[in-house]
A and B are shown apart, each in its own frame.
Chain A
C-alpha cells in the first residue's frame, strides 16, 4: 500500500486537529508513457513516474487542500497541519487511534488482457507507424499525419474520517490520429481517437491501420464538401461522437456544483419533465473497460449507473461527497480529480443518451430535408442558459430521405434543454466516443455516447443560401 494504516490514522488526526466536518487523504502512484509521431518522426518519447498524496479538510463551505510528493510520515503530517490551518475557531473532535479501518473490497471489474509492460516499446512505435502509413496511402491529398499514443497505470489509496480505506488500480490506453488533407487550397482535417480503461488488447478492436485510414478518409471526403446551407432544419446526429452535444449542453448543467452556484437551467427541476418522453440519459462509470469507467471514484465511492433522465423526467444530478451531503441525497460516485494535485469535484464519467428502437436508416428515410451531422467538433456553451454553438466536422445533406453530398463550414446553434424536448427519433445503434473533459483547470477521461437521433429543428449556420 502507498500509505501504512497507522500513518493514515495519524495523518487524518492531524487534518482534524482544529476541528472539521470531514478529512481525507488521497494518494496515487502513476506511471505513464507518451509517444508522438509527426512528419513520420518520433517527436516525443517520454516516461513518467509520479507519487503523491493530497489531504483535504472540509469545514462548512471552506475547503483546504494540501499535497506533497514526499510520502514520508513527517511530510504527510506537516501537509495535514497546513490544510488544517484553514479552520478557524473550530471545535477539536476526539480521535480514537484504536479505531479500526473499514477496508472496502478491492474490485477488478475491468479486466486487462495485454498489460502495459508486456507490450514492447518497438511495438508501441509500430502502432503509430502503421497508422501513419495507412493514412498516407489513403490518398495523395494527405499532407500531414500526427499520431500520438499514451498509456498509464494509476494505483490509488484513499482513507477518510469515516474510517474507510479504498484501493483502486486503473490502466488506460489511448491513441489519437489526426490527418490533414489538402487539394487546390482547400484544407480539411480528419481524426480518430479511441481509448479504453484496459490494456493493449484495445488495438484488436481498433487496428491502427483502420484508424489511420478512417481519419484520412474523413479528411479527403470533406475536401469534396460544398458550403453548408443556413437556416432552421431537421438535424440527424450520428451515433458515437454526437454525444458530445449532450455532454456539453446538458451534462455540465447537471453537475451539482453548477446547480449550487445557481448557474444551471436544471436547478429545482428534479422530478419534472425536461425532455421528450423517448429520451433517457445516464452517467455510467461501470461500463466494462470504457475510457471513463473506474471501480471507485476519487473520493472512494463505488462506481455506479446514475439515471439522469428517464422517459423525459429529470431524476438525479451528478454529485460528489460534499454536494451530496448538502443536498441530502446519496453520493452518485462522480467525485473525480485529475491527480493528487487536484481537489475532487463533480464530473461526468461515461454519459450517454440511451438507445431507442428505430433503425438509423429509417430515421434518414423519414427525413425529407435536413443535415446528417456524422461528427461534431468543438463547441461553446453558456452554462447558465444552455445556449450552444457546435461545429459539424463531418456532415452530409439529407435530401428526399437519402444521404446526399458532404457539406462543410456548418455550425449547429441551439439550446440544450430545448434540444431535449425536440429529439423526435432515437435509433438502436448506441456507440461511444472518448475524450478528455476540462473543467476548473482539471482534465479527466470521459466517454460521450448516443445512438443516431434526430432533432426536429436546429438552426444550421452555414455559408451558403438559406434553404
Chain B
C-alpha cells in the first residue's frame, strides 16, 4: 500500500512552486484525485467478472489574461507535474481570451458531520466483498420460485480522495466512500419472462441490506408476470421512486446554467415563474448528510451548499459554476463537477432530489384510486429530451383500481412534456430514494394526473 499523503498540502505546495515558474500574471489551479474502485459480478454461482481500479492524477488549469489552458498527468512526481504546469501555461498563451474564465477565492469549508467516509469500505477484504455478490445472487434466486435466472448480481465500492488548491486562495481536501449493490433477476412463467431490478447503497458494506434488495428485485420481476397492453387513455400515473428519479435527470440537465447559456434548456428565461404544482420543491444539496455526492466543496473549490431550485412550484434559479456565474452576473452555487482529473469542470448536480411529501406508496395508491403504477421506463436516453422537455417513453407497470394492483401492463408508452408533468403533480410520497447511476438523483413516489398512456387493445 502506498503511503498516505496529504493531497491538500501537495496541491498547495505545487501551486506555489508552479506560480514562481509560470509568473505572477498566471492563475493556477491544481486538482488532485485518487480513486480506488472495486466491482464484483456474480453469475451462475461463480464470479463472472472482477474489476479493480486505482486511478490517480492531477488536473491543472492555467489562466492568463482570460486565456485558459489545461493539462493533466497521472504521475504525482514534481518533475512530471511541473512539466504539466508548463504545458497548461503554454496552452493558455494560445487560447482565445474570455474574461469570464476565473478561479474562485478562499472559503471555509464545513467538514464535520457530512458522514461521507467509513474505513470499513477500505478495510473489508476483497474475499468478503466477493462473497457478498455471490450471496446477493443466491438470495435473489431463493426469493421466489418463479425467479429463473439472475442476469447479474453486483457488489461495488469506491473510495475517493480529493485535494485542491489555487492561486486565489482555495485550499481543501476530503475523503469519501461509496458502496452499493444491485441485482437484476429474470422471472419466468410459461414462455413469458420479465426482469426486475433493485439496489442499495451506503458509505460502508455493512450498510447494504442484501436480503431486502433480493426480495425487492424479485418482487419487481414477478409482479409483472402476466402483463398485457391496455387501450390508450388518459390516466393518473404513479411513478415508482426509481422512475421518478429518472425524470429528475431531465430537470438536472435543463437546470444547468451552461445548458441555459447555450440555448439548450426548456427552462431558459423562466426564473420567477410558476412552472410546477405547489407541492413541487426541487433541492440540490451538496451537504446532504451521507448523500452519495456530498462533499465540503465542489470540483473547483467552491463550498457546497443547499439550495431550492424550484420552491413550491416557482423556478428560483439555475445551477452555476464560477464561469457561468461570471457570465450571468451572479455567484457560483457550488455545482462545478468533473468526470475526473482529465476534465475541466462543468456544471452538474450534486445530490438533487424532490422534497418528500407524506405517505408511502400504498398510501398514494389509495389516495389516487384508479391509475397506472409505472415500475420501469424504457429508452430514457432517447425518449426524454432535456433541450425541449419532450418525453415519450416505453413503460412497464401495474394497472391500479380502487387503490390496488389489478393487472400487470407492458407495451405501453407514456408521453407529454416535462412542464406538463410538473404542473400536473397531484401527490408526493415520503419514501425518498436516490438512484446510484445517474449521479445522485433522488425522488419519492410521485403521482401525476391526466397523462396520455398509449397501448394496444
Contacts and interface: CB of A to CB of B under 8 A. Distances in A.
A341 B53 contact: yes
Nearest to B58: A49
A70 B1 contact: no
Contacts of A64: 47, 49-52
Interface in B76-108: 80, 83-84, 87-88, 90-92, 94-96, 98
Contacts, number: 119
Interface stretch (A81-89, A215-223, A276-284, A418-426): A81-89
Contacts of B87: 47
Interface in B39-73: 40, 46-57, 68-73
B56 A70 contact: yes
A65 B84 CA distance: 29
A70 B2 contact: yes
Contacts of A44: 70
Contacts of B92: 45
A69 to B, nearest CB: 4
Given A67-B53, A70-B56, A45 B94 contact: yes
A426 to B, nearest CB: 36
B127 interface: yes
Interface in B153-170: none
A51 interface: yes
A463 interface: no
A41 B73 contact: no
Nearest to A54: B53
Contacts of B57: 50, 69
Contact of A49 (B2, B73, B127): B73
Given A45-B70, A46-B70, A67 B94 contact: no
Interface residues of B, number: 41
A268 interface: no
Contacts of B91: 45-47, 121
Given A49-B80, A69-B56, A70-B56, A86 B50 contact: yes
Contact of A75 (B2, B127, B130): B2
A98 interface: no
Contacts of B40: 86
A83 B52 contact: yes
Given A62-B46, A64-B49, A72-B2, A46 B54 contact: no
Contacts of B94: 42, 45, 121-122, 125
Contacts of B126: 82, 85
B47 A62 contact: yes
Interface residues of A, number: 37
Interface string A72-111: 1011001100110110100000000000000000000000
Contacts of A69: 54-57, 74-75
A74 B56 contact: no
Contact of B52 (A49, A63, A79): A79
Given A64-B49, A86-B130, A74 B54 contact: no
A68 B54 contact: yes
Nearest to A62: B47
B38 interface: yes
B342 interface: yes
Interface in B262-317: none
Given A42-B96, A46-B70, A46-B91, A82 B2 contact: no
A45 B69 contact: yes
A44 B92 CA distance: 10
Nearest to B93: A121
A122 B46 CA distance: 55
27 contacts: A42-B95, A45-B92, A46-B71, A46-B91, A46-B344, A47-B87, A48-B71, A48-B72, A48-B73, A49-B75, A49-B80, A50-B73, A60-B46, A62-B46, A62-B49, A62-B50, A63-B48, A64-B51, A65-B49, A66-B51, A69-B54, A69-B57, A70-B56, A74-B1, A74-B2, A78-B1, A121-B90
Given A50-B74, A66-B50, 9 more contacts: A45-B94, A49-B72, A49-B84, A64-B50, A68-B54, A69-B75, A86-B40, A88-B47, A121-B91
Interface of A: 41-52, 60-70, 72, 74-75, 78-79, 82-83, 85-86, 88, 121-122, 125, 341
**6 closest Cβ contacts across the A-B interface?**
A66-B52, A86-B50, A41-B96, A68-B54, A47-B87, A64-B50
